[in-house]
Amino acid sequence: MIALHATLAEPQHFSAPEKTIFLALILASVALFFQRFGPVLKKILQSKKDPGFTLTPIGRRTWDFFSEVLCQSKVIRQRPLPGLAHAFVFWSFLAFALVTLNHCAVGFGIGFLHPKGQGISGLFSRFYFYLAAAFAITCAISITGLFIRRFFLRPKWFGKEVSYESGLIAFLIFALMVTYLAAFFITDASPYAHVLWWLHTLTLLAFLPVIPHTKHLHLVLSPVTVFLSRGKFSDIPPLVGDEDFGLVAGQDLTQIVSLQAYSCVECGRCTEHCPAANTGKALNPKEIILGVRAYLNEIGPATEEPLLGKHNSQEAVFQCTTCGACEFQCPVGIEHLPIIVGLRRGAVNTGAWENDYGSKLFNQLERGSNALGIGAVERDKFNQKESLPIFDGTQEYCLWLGCMGAYDPKGREIVSSFARVMNYLGTSYGVLKKEKCTGDPVRRLGNDLVFQQLAEANLETLAQNKVKKIVSICPHCVRTIQEDWKAYGTPPEIEHHSEFMARHIDKLPQAQDKEKIVFHDPCYLGRYRNVYDEPRQLVQISGTLVEAPRHRERSFCCGAGGGLAFLGEESGERVSHVRAKELIETGATTIGTACPFCNTMFRDALAASETPAPQLLDIAQLVARSLPVDNKA
Amino acid sequence: MKIIVAIKQVPDRDAPVRIDAAGKWIEESDLQFTMNEPDAYALEEALRLKEAHGGEVIVLSAGPERVGATIREALAKGADRAIHISAEDLGTRDALGVAKLLAEAVKSEFGPESPDLILTGLQSEDLGLGQTGVILAELLNLPHASLILHVEKTDSGLKVKRELEAGWFQEIELPTPAVLTIQSGGNKLRYATLMGIKKAKTKEMRVAAAEQLSSKTPPTAVLEKIALPSKQRSTQILPGTPKEAAAALVEKLKFEVRVL
C-alpha cells in the first residue's frame, strides 16, 4: 500500500557507473543548451550598441525587476487567472532552484539538504521540502490549467498554429512536479527511489536544451529584458551620426531590440489589445516582434538587407496608431513603439515610404505651419473672434492651441470652452501670435527631418516669448512638447487641461443634472502620461461617470494617433467605429473626451451610427456648461 | 538628359506681409521663405525624367544668401548639383534682368552647347509675372512651351501636355533642347528626407556673382508703389427657410453670377 511519509525519499547509494552516466548526461544537456543558446546570444551581442544607453537609474530598473519579474505584477494584473497560474509556475521554479541543486548533489553523494537530519539543518531541510511540495502542487495544477487553456480553450490571439512545443514543455514541468511529489510516498530503501530519482533527473536534463529552442527562451532572457528596458513609455531613441536613419537594415538593430525580439513569449497580449489587429488590418504587433526575430535568425544583425520585406511589411508598420496598448501590456518588457516607429523612421528618412497622404502631410508641414494645411491667417481670425489675449510674458500660462485647437471647428469649441473656464478661475493666460504644429504626426510617422524643424522653430518661439508654463487641450501636443522635444532643447513645463482643471476643482461649479457620461481615455493622456483620475473627477462634477468595458490602461484607441488621422481611408473595419459602438452601448447620454483627435474621430463615427448617438463633449465643454452665464465666480 | 531647373525663393504663404518704409517693397525682416510652388513641381518633373532616363539635374537659383536653404532643399530632394547666382538686388531687376542673369549662368555652365531641357515654374507666387521662363528661352534662342503638366521623352524630342482653360488640354511635340514652364499639380510632390539632407551636404553648390555674369542694364519696367488689397466684404445672407434660401441662391447663381 502507498503511504505518505514524513519526508521525501532520497536514494542513498549511487554506483560509479551511475555517477559517470549522470555526469555525462549533465554535460550533454548543458552542451545542447549552449549549442542552441550560443548563436542567439551571439546575435544579440553582435547587434549595434544602443546609443545613449546607461544602467542608471538603477533604482527604477531594480524596482521594475522586483515588480514585473519577481512579483509578476503585470502578468497577473492584466490577465488575472492565467496570470496567476503563470506566477505559480514561476514561483515554483524559484523555489525549486535549491531543491534541484540538492537533487543533483545527491547523485554525486554530496546532497546538502538532509530531511532526516537533526537540529537546525534537518528542520530547515524538512521545512524547505514541504514548502517546495506546496509549490509543486500549485504548479502542477497551474500548468494543467494553462495546458487546457492553450490546447482546448485556444484563445484566438495565440494564433492559428498550435504550439506542440508548449505541450512538451507543459508535460515536462508536470512530470518534474509529479516525480518530486511522488518521492513523498516511498522510502529511501524502496527500489522505486532510484527509479524516481532518475525520472526526475531525465526530465530536468531534457528540459534544459528545449529552452533556447522555443519561446521558453523567455525563461532566460525576459528578466534581463525587463531590467534593461528603456523604462520610459514609447521612448524613441535619438539618431546618432550621419548614417543613422532609424531601423533600415539589420545593422541598425540595437542590442536591446534584438534582446527584446528573442524574449517574446508569444502570449499575444499585444495582439489582443491592438486596435489595428482587432479591426482586420495587416498589423499584428506580435508578428512584428517575431518578424524581427525571424530576420535575426535567417539574416542576422550587422547586415544591409532591408528589415521591411520578407519578415515585416511596410503596410503593417504604417497601420499602427501608436496607442501603445501593446507596449503597456507586454509582460516580458518588449517596447513595441520604438521598434515600430523605428521601422517607420527607416522607411521615411530614406524616402522608401511612398504614400500620397503622407507626402502631402510632410510637404504641408515643411512649408506651412499646421497639419491641416490651412493658412495661418485663419488662426489669427479665430484668436480675434474669441478675443483670446496674446501672450506677452506677463501672463502665468501660455495656452497652446495646437493644430486642432486653432483650425478644427470642434477643436476651437474646446479651446473656447477652456478659455471660459480659465477666465472664470481668473487665471492669466495668453496665446502665441504664431505657433507651428508640435510635430506629433511626423514624429510618429518617422519623419525626423520635419520633426526637428518644427521642434526647433517652436522652441525658439517659446524662448523668445519667455514662456514658463504651457497648458494645452491636446494630449498629443502635451506629450510631444514635454518628451519628444527634449532631443532638441529644453521645453517649458506643460500640462493637459484636465490636470489644470482638476487642480482647481474645488472652485468649479457642480452640474445639477446628473446625466450618464462615459469617459473615453485618450491613449496619449492615459498610457503615455498616466493621467486617468483627473478627467474622471471633472466628469463626476458634470454628471454621473460610466465606464466603458475597456477603460483606463486598457482603453481602446480612437484610431487617430500615429499620424493616421491624416492618412486617409483605413482597410478593414474603422477603429473609430468599433470604439464609438462600445461607448454608445454603455447607455450614456454623453461621451466625454479629453483629446481633440478622439473628438474628431468620434464625431464622424457617431454621424455614421445607426443608433441614436449620444452627445460628444470634451471635458472642458462639460465643465463650461455649468459655469454661470456671466462667467463670474 | 541634362536638365536645369530654375527655382525662385519666395515668401512663405503664411508669412505676414507688410509694406516697407519706402513703400516700394515688402518688409523682408520677419518673413519666412520657401520654394516657389510651381518651381517645386518643375523640380519634381525633372527628378522623374532623370529617374526614367538617367542624366543629371542641376538647380539654378538667384538671390541673396538665404536662397541657399531653398537650394539645399532641392538637392535634398534629389538634384545633383546647384548654381547659386548671388545677387542682393534681385528686387530691383525686372523679369528681363533676372532672365538675363539666368541665361548667362546657363551659358557659363555649358558654353555654346545647352542642356537638354530647362524647366521652371510657370510663375512665381510673389510677383506672378509669368515671364521669366519664356524670356529665358528667347535669350537662349530655344523653343519653349508654357503651362506644362506633363513631359514625356520621345525619340525625336519631347511630347508635353499643356493645360488650357475649362478642363481642356493640349498635347504638343517639340525638339530638345527646349525651355518649359511647369504648372502646379501635374505630379505628386515628393517629401524631403533626412537622408537626402545629409547627402545634399556633400553635393556641389557653385556660387556665381551676379555682377560677373551680366552687367546691370536699366530695367524696362520700374516699380513705383505697392499696396495691400483693400478689403471688400460682399457676403450676402439669404434669409428664409432652407428651401426659400436655396431657391434664392439658385436664382442668384443663374442670373447674377451666371454660373448655372
One domain for residues B144 and B243: no
pLDDT of residue B90: 79
pLDDT of residue A158: 79
Q: Judge: A351–B197 Cβ closer than 8 Å, yes or no.
A: no
pLDDT band (50, 70, 90) for residue A338? very high
Partner B contacted by A3 (CB < 8 A): no
Rounded to a whole number of angstroms, the distance from the CA of A363 to the nearest CA of chain B is 6
A to B CB pairs, distance under 8 Å: 54
Of all residues in chain B, the one with the smallest CA distance to A376 is B14
Is B221 inside any structural domain?
no
Per-residue three-class SS string for A470-513: EEECCHHHHHHHHCHHHHCCCCCEEEEHHHHHHHCHHHCCCCCC
Q: Which residues in chain A have their CB less than 8 angstroms from residue B191's CB?
A: 348, 351, 358-359, 362-363, 366, 447, 450
Query: How much of chain B, in percent, has pLDDT values that exceed 90?
Result: 61
Q: Judge: A366–B13 Cβ closer than 8 Å, yes or no.
A: no
Given CA atoms A276, A281, A286, A292 in this order, what sign does their dihedral have? negative
The whole-angstrom separation of Cα A179 and Cα A192 is 11
Rounded to a whole number of angstroms, the distance from the CA of B143 to the nearest CA of chain A is 32
Q: Which of A348, A363, A436, A461 to mutate: most B Cβ within 10 Å?
A: A363
Q: What is the pLDDT of residues A530-547, one digit of tens each?
A: 999 999 999 999 999 999
Q: Judge: B190–A377 Cβ closer than 8 Å, yes or no.
A: no
Q: What is the pLDDT of residues A537-587, one digit of tens each?
A: 999 999 999 999 999 999 999 999 999 999 987 888 999 999 999 999 999
Measured between CB atoms, which of B188, B190, B197 is closest to A449? B197
Q: Is the pLDDT of residue A2 over 70?
A: no
For chain B, give the longest Cα–Cα distance: 72
Query: How much of chain A, in percent, has pLDDT values that exceed 70?
Result: 99
Q: Which of A240, A242, A433 to mutate: most B Cβ within 10 Å?
A: A242
- Whether the Cβ atoms of residue A251 and residue A300 lie closer than 8 Å to each other: no
- Whether the Cβ atoms of residue A408 and residue A526 lie closer than 8 Å to each other: no
One domain for residues B94 and B129: yes
Rounded to a whole number of angstroms, the distance from the CA of A300 to the nearest CA of chain B is 24
pLDDT of residue A56: 84
Q: Phi-psi bin for A108: left (phi > 0), alpha (psi -120 to 50), beta?
A: alpha
Q: Show the cell assigned to B168.
A: 481642356
Q: What is the pLDDT of residues A406-417, one digit of tens each?
A: 999 999 999 999
Number of Cβ atoms within 10 Å of the Cβ of A186: 20
Number of Cβ atoms within 10 Å of the Cβ of B152: 12
Residue B164 belongs to domain with CATH number: 3.40.50.620
- C-alpha torsion angle, residues A14, A17, A21, A23 (rounded to 10): 70
- For A197-222, b/e burial (b = at least 16 CB within 10 A) is bbbbbebbbbbbbbbbebbbbbbbbb
The whole-angstrom separation of Cα A596 and Cα A414 is 8
Q: Judge: B192–A367 Cβ closer than 8 Å, yes or no.
A: no
The whole-angstrom separation of Cα A320 and Cα A317 is 6
Mean pLDDT in residue range B107-118: 83
Mean pLDDT in residue range A188-203: 89
Of all residues in chain A, the one with the smallest CA distance to B197 is A449
Number of Cβ atoms within 10 Å of the Cβ of B54: 8
Is B225 inside any structural domain?
no
Number of Cβ atoms within 10 Å of the Cβ of A512: 6
Q: Which residues in chain B have their CB less than 8 angstroms from residue A369's CB?
A: 14
Measured between CB atoms, which of B34, B189, B194 is closest to A448? B194
pLDDT band (50, 70, 90) for residue A600? very high
Mean pLDDT in residue range A421-428: 96
User: Looking at A43-47, A81-85, B12-16, B99-103, which range is the least confident one?
Assistant: B12-16
Of all residues in chain A, the one with the smallest CA distance to B201 is A242
One domain for residues B244 and B202: no
Q: Judge: A377–B14 Cβ closer than 8 Å, yes or no.
A: yes
User: Looking at A151-155, A200-204, A476-480, which range is the least confident one?
Assistant: A151-155
Q: Judge: B191–A377 Cβ closer than 8 Å, yes or no.
A: no
ipTM of the complex model: 0.86
Q: Is the pLDDT of residue A462 over 90?
A: yes
A 358-397 residues inside an 8 A Cβ radius of B: 358-360, 362-363, 366-369, 375-377
Q: Is the pLDDT of residue A633 over 70?
A: no
Q: Which residues in chain B have their CB less than 8 angstroms from residue A381's CB?
A: none
Mean pLDDT in residue range A243-264: 95
Rounded to a whole number of angstroms, the distance from the CA of B156 to the nearest CA of chain A is 32
Q: Looking up cell 512536479, which residue turns up?
A: A177
pLDDT band (50, 70, 90) for residue B213? confident
Q: Is the pLDDT of residue B146 over 60?
A: yes
Partner B contacted by A239 (CB < 8 A): yes
One domain for residues B195 and B249: no
Domain containing B241: what range?
230-260
Is B192 inside any structural domain?
yes
pLDDT of residue A199: 94
pLDDT of residue A4: 72
Q: Which of B12, B14, B201 to mutate: most A Cβ within 10 Å?
A: B14
Of all residues in chain A, the one with the smallest CA distance to B200 is A242
Rounded to a whole number of angstroms, the distance from the CA of A522 to the nearest CA of chain B is 30
Mean pLDDT in residue range B39-60: 96
- For residue A411, which of A630, A615, A603 has the smallest C-alpha distance? A603
Is B125 inside any structural domain?
yes
pLDDT of residue A188: 80
Of all residues in chain A, the one with the smallest CA distance to B193 is A349
A 438-497 residues inside an 8 A Cβ radius of B: 447-450
Partner B contacted by A16 (CB < 8 A): no
Query: How much of chain B, in percent, has pLDDT values that exceed 70?
Result: 99
Number of domains in chain B: 2
Q: Tell me how many degrees the CA angle A320-A324-A330 measures, rounded to the nearest 5.
A: 115
Q: Is the pLDDT of residue A49 over 70?
A: yes
Q: Judge: B194–A349 Cβ closer than 8 Å, yes or no.
A: yes
Q: Which of A449, A460, A488 to mutate: most B Cβ within 10 Å?
A: A449
Q: Which residues in chain B have their CB less than 8 angstroms from residue A245's CB?
A: 194-195
One domain for residues B161 and B259: no
Q: Show the cell assigned to B220.
A: 524696362
One domain for residues B252 and B145: no
Mean pLDDT in residue range A279-303: 95
The number of residues in chain B equals 260
One domain for residues B204 and B238: no
Mean pLDDT in residue range B170-185: 95
Q: What is the pLDDT of residues A467-497, one digit of tens each?
A: 999 999 999 999 999 999 999 999 999 999 9
Q: Judge: B198–A363 Cβ closer than 8 Å, yes or no.
A: no
One domain for residues B248 and B206: no
Q: Which residues in chain A have their CB less than 8 angstroms from residue B198's CB?
A: 242
Of all residues in chain A, the one with the smallest CA distance to B187 is A356
Is B224 inside any structural domain?
no
Partner B contacted by A242 (CB < 8 A): yes
Q: Judge: A449–B34 Cβ closer than 8 Å, yes or no.
A: no
One domain for residues B168 and B202: yes
Q: Judge: B194–A239 Cβ closer than 8 Å, yes or no.
A: yes
Q: Judge: B190–A359 Cβ closer than 8 Å, yes or no.
A: yes
Is B148 inside any structural domain?
yes
One domain for residues B260 and B184: no
One domain for residues B75 and B153: yes
Q: Show the cell assigned to A596.
A: 481633440
pLDDT of residue A117: 82
pLDDT band (50, 70, 90) for residue A6? low
Q: Is the pLDDT of residue A354 over 80?
A: yes
Bridge partners, A285 (sequence order): none
pLDDT band (50, 70, 90) for residue B21? confident
Is B70 inside any structural domain?
yes
Partner B contacted by A349 (CB < 8 A): yes
- For residue B117, which of B86, B140, B85, B149 has the smallest C-alpha distance? B140
Radius of gyration of chain B (CA): 21
The number of residues in chain A equals 633
Bridge partners, A398 (sequence order): A430, A470
Q: Which residues in chain A have their CB less than 8 angstroms from residue B30's CB?
A: none
Q: Which residues in chain A have their CB less than 8 angstroms from residue B192's CB?
A: 362, 366, 449-450
Q: Which residues in chain B have their CB less than 8 angstroms from residue A356's CB?
A: 188
Question: What share of residues in chain A are helix, strand, coil (percent, to 5)?
Answer: 60, 5, 35
pLDDT of residue A358: 95
pLDDT of residue B228: 83
One domain for residues B74 and B122: yes
A 263-282 residues inside an 8 A Cβ radius of B: none
Q: Judge: B189–A359 Cβ closer than 8 Å, yes or no.
A: yes
Is B218 inside any structural domain?
no
